[in-house]
Structure 1
Amino acid sequence: MEDFNPNFVNLTPENLASEHLCCIIRSKKLHPGVEAKRQWLSDRLKEGHVFRKLDAKAAVFIEYAPLETAWVPITGDNYYYLYCLWATGSYKGKGYGKALLQYCVADAKAKGKSGICMLGAKKQKAWLTDQSFAKKFGFEVVDTTPNGYELLALTFDGTTPRFAPNAKAETIENNELTVYYDMQCPYILQTIEMLKQYCEVNSVPLSLVPVDTLQKAKELPCVFNNWAVFYKRKFETVNLLLDPNNLKRILKK
């Protein structure tokens, strides 16, 4: 077996403008979603947010932040929140994900954190980190929501985080197709444009709610990783891949 010593790069205020952001890689033409995420990150890095990626044109990265400043309706003391961990395409299954998660664990311990937590589900959901992979590292379910989402945690001191009570509400007053979103993911802008076009063509009322402050994120009435969809007052999904077929399934309810 050949030596495994990948070269990773952490984004910093100094290199943020020049480094690609993994999910949507453009070498020349700027992508609006990437630039929106770059701006979002510029404000988050000073809060201890970590974006670590393989030094290659590949979607191989981990993204996490102190739970206190993570844009999710989860409460807990002295934890890291793991937003994303991806190793895709030809890089999958070759140890990159393991190396990235090991880095996060070591970082958390070095900073005296109580543990690391992440969003999961009873059945693996698209656009969420592979929870079976995380469980191999010792992550365990510490809280659940009525519709099957789970909070997984790797605890170092026996303490555990929890979903905020409001995250378990899973209802809103608006009957329209309603989407809460922030600018963390580069795919969000293009998904919003697709939604607007679909709803306009099909005469579907649409309400878009930007989550543009930490307080708004902490007070959301559902689980959230950067995106959440409601229809007829009920929470539906955090799946960002809302193609027309997925939309039709939701709108038939």
Structure 2
Amino acid sequence: MELIKITHENLEQEHICCAISNNKDVQVMTKKAWIQERLDEGLVFLKGNVRGKCFIEYIPAEYAWVPIEADGYMYIDCLWVSGQFKGQGYSTLLLEECIRDSKAKGKKGLVILSSQKKRGFLSDPKYMKYKGFERADAAAPYFELLYLPFAQNADQPCFKKVVKTQNSLPEGFVLYYTDQCPFTAKYVPLLEKMAQERQAKLQTVHIRTKEDAQNVPSPFTTFSLFYNGELVTHEILSEKKFDKILADKGL
């Protein structure tokens, strides 16, 4: 399979694998705008020359929109191969290219966010550990930070302390989100409307800088919904799923 690297020159005409609608779709627009601003920081979006989810996105950890300490590492935002492309070695192809590129850039290793068991929007822990990744740190309720060091004496990455001190969050729902994932552009306004109609207290925090993202009390800054200081879910919600959560809270 031919791999295509997104650049300033081809961003407009290439589709983004996690959002393959036309460029006027709000999800595509927000994701591409986010990528555009990250390219000069070393973001790499590498995709298969196919129409579907077959890509890897990574960035130097110092610029990653996650609350971690991993200087000198490369952080993998997303490795996603799905549908008809699964089981054909494309995940390995993309990961090996990321390793090659990261070594060429003098990185200490790779870091990726995972969980105790396979969960949506997080890397598959079984697959990553099969590829040599080890657990570097953990955070409640189920997050794990995995890393693949390129040398035995490489520093071990970890979560920032802010991830483990969530008791200062206000009452009610608090939603942290970024434009890193295209789906938030569609669903966050719908959730805000639902909360207003149900008279549920919902505070949305749109993270717009890496500095703010690196100080969010959740490892998954793309979308993290809290209720009374406890994480409800990191999985980007549809209206139906949010309706169930509201009902469970008696709202």
Query: Would you say same fold, with TM above 0.5?
Result: yes
Mapped to 2, the partners of 1:81 and 1:247 lie a distance apart of: 34
Q: Give every structure 1 segment of 4 or more consecutive aligned residues whose post-TM-superposition deviation is greater than 6 Å.
A: none
- Select 1:205's aligned residue among 201, 207, 217: 201
In the alignment, which residue of structure 1 is the partner of 2:177? 181
1:94 shift after superposition:
1.0
In the alignment, which residue of structure 2 is the partner of 1:146? 140
In the alignment, which residue of structure 2 is the partner of 1:115? 109
Local SS of the residue matching 2:80: strand
Mapped to 1, the partners of 2:247 and 2:179 lie a distance apart of: 25
Alignment RMSD, CA only?
1.6
In the alignment, which residue of structure 1 is the partner of 2:5? 10
1:62 aligns with 2:56: yes
Residues 198 and 244 in structure 1, CA contact (< 8 A), matched pair in contact too: no
Query: Which of 41-50 and 218-227 deviates more?
Result: 218-227
Give ranges in structure 1 of 5+ residues lacking alignment: 1-5
1:179 shift after superposition:
0.7
Matched length: 247
In the alignment, which residue of structure 2 is the partner of 1:3? none
1:96 aligns with 2:90: yes
Give ranges in structure 2 of 5+ residues lacking alignment: none
1:159 shift after superposition:
1.9
In the alignment, which residue of structure 1 is the partner of 2:156? 160
In the alignment, which residue of structure 2 is the partner of 1:193? 189
1:31 aligns with 2:25: yes
Identity, % of aligned pairs? 35
Residues 171 and 221 in structure 1, CA contact (< 8 A), matched pair in contact too: no
Local SS of the residue matching 1:173: coil
Local SS of the residue matching 1:185: coil
Spell out, residue by residue over 1:71-101, the C-alpha distance to the aligned partner (whole angstroms, 9 max, x if none): 1000122001111111111111111111001
Spell out, residue by residue over 1:31-54, the C-alpha distance to the aligned partner (whole angstroms, 9 max, x if none): 101101111111100000010011
